[in-house]
Chains A and B, each alone.
Chain A
Amino acid sequence: MKKLLQTNNLSKTYVQTQGFFSRVRTNIHALDSVSFSINQGTTMAVVGESGSGKSTLAKSLVRLVKLDKGSVKFNGIDLLSLEGEKLKSVRKDIQMIFQDPYASLNPRLNILQIMEEPLLIHNYLDIDARRKKIEDFIERVGLSVSDLKKYPHQFSGGQRQRIGIARALILEPKLVICDEPVSALDVSVQAQILKLLKDLQKEFGLTYLFITHDLRIVRHVADDVMVMRHGKLVEEGKTDIIFKNPKNQYTKDLIQSIPGLISKRN
């Protein structure tokens, strides 16, 4: 199977200063030599608690965070050395779906404008083709063409997340980074969105990097899983194998903590 993304020794340290004259400096290793790869058309889940570096990892892959060290190969291209137009053309292929559907849509734009923006940035100039594409995608995520005139506040959380997904997919990316896409949603809506993501993956042959802290969801969506703690990759492998036979103590603890699995008191 072809590797779509391959990273090597990703490292990022944030420096925290304390005190008025910044005398105390502490280094926080958000990412500490993280290497992994994702096969095309599969889903890789990243699990870990808050502060484990999952989001820094995601942001570094879309070049929103500048890494200190390491290399990222995406589709055979060295991602970190790209600049200008070349970077822009690769950015089209890596899109992101964010956690909070309330904060990630501009409240002053209607859905048509929100969906049109990525197309404009990437020079889709033909108005009719653009409109057609937007209509296709909005219907594909389960909303209707008449919704395009509406503004984000007129939608529920689940509907907003659908808009976020449509916006990410409209450029037909190869890799989609989902940063806790369902953790702000009700369990019933969560099931809908997970199903939608799965269907879209089949339809478009997408590759997902799926960040979550809910191991039950990992079991459902992921082919492979990597467990992170304090910026380090502590365990990695096939989802089924890791769940059945975790090797690392921290992974064991995480699996033990899944609600509903704790052995019931007397």
Chain B
Amino acid sequence: MKKNILKINNLSITTKVNTNLYLVDSISFSVKEGKTTCIVGESGSGKSLTALSIIRLLSPQLKMSGEILFNNEDICKMSELEIRQKRGLDIAMIFQEPMTSLNPVLTIGYQIKEAITVHSDSPNNEINKKVEELLMLVGIPIERVNSYPDELSGGQRQRVMIAMAMSCNPNLLIADEPTTALDVTVQAQILKLLDDLKSKLNMSMLFITHDFGVVEDIADDVIVMFKGKIVERGVVNQVLKKPKHPYTKALLGCVPDALGKKQLTPIDYEKLDRAMQRI
């Protein structure tokens, strides 16, 4: 039995204005060490809020309650200073849109270096060496170290984001739709890269996506979210092949598959409501 690196107990997120409006409604799950857990759901299901709450980057207008245990320490109880030391060092995050997450007026080398110097006092030449290692790790030629983000393609930018996230060998990597903005071929490369890095560095991953194809490729465990609640969870094959919850079934019916000519069935929300009430 693997150890849980992240354990979330009864996490709820509401707005400060209306504390009865649950954006995330008492969810509990855990991420096992060295494994990839995927959160799947439509927009508005609360998957990104869940991710942001783990590194405490929620908007100040939102209020969260519950327990987020990372290596048995409760992130919710940490001071601002403590969580800052965790961010990047122990928990790193990759965002969806690589262009908006990189600073357009700084070279990528500088930005990767910055990620390292926040958590380390090593001398300059060691850090420069580390930057080169990281670029090599994610497959960007070292000559590009002085390039600006706009000189890189979308896939390369996402690689830079991954290099920054890897800079301090985090235990947990949160990836919020890291391949949604990319072409399929590039997406396949990035997924492979993340999976390789995960095994090489013995990292755990919390991967957020709305694409069941991506889930099939990368996940060990899957969590399906709907309207702020977890409706189904389990090992990837079980959830995708033998879904139990009516919502998971309905959502899978919407996914086009590449193998055969499966009929697409849009979700019939009235039927879904009735099915969910029976549970």
Q: Which residues of A contact B (CB under 8 A)?
A: 49-50, 186-192, 194-195, 213-217, 219-220, 243, 253-262, 264-265
Task: Report B190 CB to chain A, min CB distance, Å.
Answer: 11
Q: Which residues of B contact A (CB under 8 A)?
A: 42-43, 154, 183-188, 191-192, 195, 210-217, 250-251, 253-259, 261-262, 264-267
B264 touches A194 (CB 8 A): yes
B183 touches A49 (CB 8 A): yes
- List the A side residues contacting B216 at CB < 8 Å: 259-260, 264
Task: Report B259 CB to chain A, min CB distance, Å.
Answer: 8
Q: How many A-B residue pairs have CB under 8 A?
A: 98
Please report the C-alpha to C-alpha distance between residue A248 and residue B191 in the assembled complex, in whole angstroms.
24
Q: A50-B154, A194-B264, A220-B256 are in contact. List 9 more A-B contacts (CB 8 A).
A: A49-B183, A49-B184, A50-B183, A188-B251, A191-B256, A216-B255, A257-B185, A262-B188, A264-B216
Please report the C-alpha to C-alpha distance between residue A258 and residue B213 in the assembled complex, in whole angstroms.
8
Please report the C-alpha to C-alpha distance between residue A214 and residue B211 in the assembled complex, in whole angstroms.
11
Please report the C-alpha to C-alpha distance between residue A172 and residue B259 in the assembled complex, in whole angstroms.
34
- List the B side residues contacting A189 at CB < 8 Å: 42
Given contacts A49-B183, A220-B264, contact A187 B210 (CB under 8 A): yes
Please report the C-alpha to C-alpha distance between residue A258 and residue B185 in the assembled complex, in whole angstroms.
8
Please report the C-alpha to C-alpha distance between residue A191 and residue B269 in the assembled complex, in whole angstroms.
13
Question: Closest residue of chain A to B199, judged by CB?
Answer: A265
B183 touches A188 (CB 8 A): no
Most chain B CB inside 10 Å of its own CB: which residue of A195, A217, A254, A260: A260
Please report the C-alpha to C-alpha distance between residue A50 and residue B264 in the assembled complex, in whole angstroms.
26
B183 touches A216 (CB 8 A): no
Task: Report A262 CB to chain B, min CB distance, Å.
Answer: 5
- List the A side residues contacting B264 at CB < 8 Å: 191, 194-195, 220
Please report the C-alpha to C-alpha distance between residue A257 and residue B183 in the assembled complex, in whole angstroms.
9
Please report the C-alpha to C-alpha distance between residue A217 and residue B261 in the assembled complex, in whole angstroms.
10
Question: Closest residue of chain B to A260, judged by CB?
Answer: B213
A258 touches B265 (CB 8 A): no
A216 touches B256 (CB 8 A): yes
Task: Report A241 CB to chain B, min CB distance, Å.
Answer: 14
B188 touches A259 (CB 8 A): yes
Question: Closest residue of chain A to B240, judged by CB?
Answer: A260
Question: Closest residue of chain B to A217, judged by CB?
Answer: B256
Please report the C-alpha to C-alpha distance between residue A220 and residue B264 in the assembled complex, in whole angstroms.
8
Please report the C-alpha to C-alpha distance between residue A256 and residue B266 in the assembled complex, in whole angstroms.
27
A186 touches B42 (CB 8 A): yes
Please report the C-alpha to C-alpha distance between residue A192 and residue B265 in the assembled complex, in whole angstroms.
8
A259 touches B213 (CB 8 A): yes
Given contacts A216-B256, A219-B258, A260-B258, contact A187 B212 (CB under 8 A): yes
Please report the C-alpha to C-alpha distance between residue A104 and residue B277 in the assembled complex, in whole angstroms.
39
A216 touches B213 (CB 8 A): yes
Please report the C-alpha to C-alpha distance between residue A50 and residue B154 in the assembled complex, in whole angstroms.
10
B253 touches A191 (CB 8 A): yes
A257 touches B255 (CB 8 A): no
Please report the C-alpha to C-alpha distance between residue A195 and residue B254 in the assembled complex, in whole angstroms.
10
- List the B side residues contacting A260 at CB < 8 Å: 212-217, 257-258
Task: Report B97 CB to chain A, min CB distance, Å.
Answer: 13
A213 touches B256 (CB 8 A): no
Please report the C-alpha to C-alpha distance between residue A265 and residue B217 in the assembled complex, in whole angstroms.
8
B258 touches A191 (CB 8 A): no
Please report the C-alpha to C-alpha distance between residue A219 and residue B259 in the assembled complex, in whole angstroms.
8
B183 touches A255 (CB 8 A): no
- List the B side residues contacting A194 at CB < 8 Å: 256, 264
A-B contact pairs, 16 of them (CB 8 A): A50-B183, A186-B43, A187-B211, A191-B254, A191-B265, A194-B264, A213-B183, A215-B258, A220-B261, A220-B264, A253-B185, A258-B184, A259-B187, A261-B213, A261-B258, A264-B217
B184 touches A259 (CB 8 A): yes
A254 touches B256 (CB 8 A): no
B254 touches A216 (CB 8 A): no
- List the B side residues contacting A255 at CB < 8 Å: 258
- List the B side residues contacting A262 at CB < 8 Å: 188, 191-192, 217
B184 touches A188 (CB 8 A): no
Question: Closest residue of chain A to B154, judged by CB?
Answer: A50
Task: Report A225 CB to chain B, min CB distance, Å.
Answer: 13
B191 touches A259 (CB 8 A): yes
Task: Report A78 CB to chain B, min CB distance, Å.
Answer: 35
Task: Report B227 CB to chain A, min CB distance, Å.
Answer: 13
- List the B side residues contacting A259 at CB < 8 Å: 184, 187-188, 191, 211, 213-214, 216-217
B185 touches A49 (CB 8 A): yes
Given contacts A186-B210, A194-B264, A258-B258, contact A214 B184 (CB under 8 A): yes
Most chain A CB inside 10 Å of its own CB: which residue of B215, B253, B259: B259
Please report the C-alpha to C-alpha distance between residue A220 and residue B265 in the assembled complex, in whole angstroms.
12
Question: Closest residue of chain B to A221, judged by CB?
Answer: B256
Most chain A CB inside 10 Å of its own CB: which residue of B185, B186, B262: B185
Please report the C-alpha to C-alpha distance between residue A191 and residue B191 in the assembled complex, in whole angstroms.
25
- List the B side residues contacting A188 at CB < 8 Å: 42, 250-251, 254, 266-267
Please report the C-alpha to C-alpha distance between residue A211 and residue B211 in the assembled complex, in whole angstroms.
19
